Amino acid sequence: MATLYGVNKTKTLSPTSDNIVSPGTLGGRVRVHTDSITLAAAAIGDIVYLGKTLQDGAIIVGIVVQNAALGAGVTYRIGDINDDDRYMTDIAADAPAVTRNLNIAGNQYKIGANDDDSDIVMKIAGGAATGLVKVSIFYTED
């Protein structure tokens, strides 16, 4: 039976000046931004900015969205201005729901890896959206 180590565990076992692990990666404090908005016939393509602007180096570890029934055929995406579905893609919002999944590209995404990625946004699709949306953005920033 083999003993295997994750990338960051390997770095901590053999630290050098070239492989220092940032504090937010190992032992970082998870922080959360909560935000909410009551949409009133928000149009397809409308963009809602959520939470605060994150610092370069912040690592997204989770996003939870709770939505009311926003309307027939309504969907939304969670991302940033550079990639509007970096974190969640086409989430159906025609019924009340709580969504906790992250796209592969958004899992442990490090802010500053691309231009215009420091503001988390929700983009409306599929139809006019009306109702309450609550968002919690979990990240490390140490």
pLDDT of residue 4: 80
Whether domain 29-140 has CATH 2.60.120.220: yes
Q: Cα–Cα distance between 58 and 137 in angstroms, integer?
A: 11
Domain residue ranges in the chain:
29-140
- Round to whole Å and give the CA distance between 84 and 50: 13
Rounded CA separation 12/127 (Å) = 49
Beta carbons within 8 Å of 105's beta carbon, 6+ residues apart: 83, 86
Q: Which residues contact 103 (CB under 8 A, 6 or more apart)?
A: 85, 86, 87, 88, 89
pTM of the prediction?
A: 0.84
What whole-number distance in Å separates Cα of residue 122 and Cα of residue 84? 7
* Per-residue pLDDT at 117: 97
pLDDT at 13: 80
Low-confidence ranges of the chain (pLDDT < 70): 22-27
